[in-house]
Homo-oligomer: A and B are copies of this chain.
Amino acid sequence: MDADLYQRLITYMQRTDTVLTEHVGSKELQLMEQGRDRDAKIYDRDMAWLRQSDLVVAECTCPSLGVGYELASAEHLGIPVHIFYDHTKTQLSAMLTGNPYFHIHPYEKEEEIYKVLEELLNYYQ
């Protein structure tokens, strides 16, 4: 994972919007298992955040079971999902690119993300 990139994206969106999962930009916080009781609290909190969201923006260059889980959950909740990934570093699973629900934004340079983000944040405001 690329915490510096996530932090820059979060900071960008926070100029105008509330980012519920700002901890993903923190290098200190670990979202991996920490005992099943603690994990249940993380799960409940993240699902509550998801239900409150108007929009999901996912940087998906790194594979992740948890992110894949959240993408499907957002779809089931009817929340719009925009997926960004660096196509010079990875290919996405066909379970994402083949699903017409998801808006997919391959990028090569980080600047391209901000252009799309600006449009999205205007569109969904």
Is the pair B63, A72 in contact by a Cβ cutoff of 8 Å?
A: no
Number of interface residues of A (CB under 8 A): 37
A99 sits at the interface (CB 8 A)? yes
CA of A46 to CA of B64, assembled, Å = 19
Is the pair A93, B64 in contact by a Cβ cutoff of 8 Å?
A: yes
- Stoichiometry, as copies per complex, reads 2
Name which residue of chain B comes closest to A83, CB basis. Answer: B65
Seen from chain A, the residues whose Cβ lies within 8 Å of a Cβ on chain B are 31-34, 36, 38-44, 46, 60, 62-73, 76, 91-100
Name which residue of chain B comes closest to A46, CB basis. Answer: B95
Is the pair B92, A33 in contact by a Cβ cutoff of 8 Å?
A: yes
Q: Which of B68, B71, B73, B93 contacts A31 (CB 8 A)?
A: B93
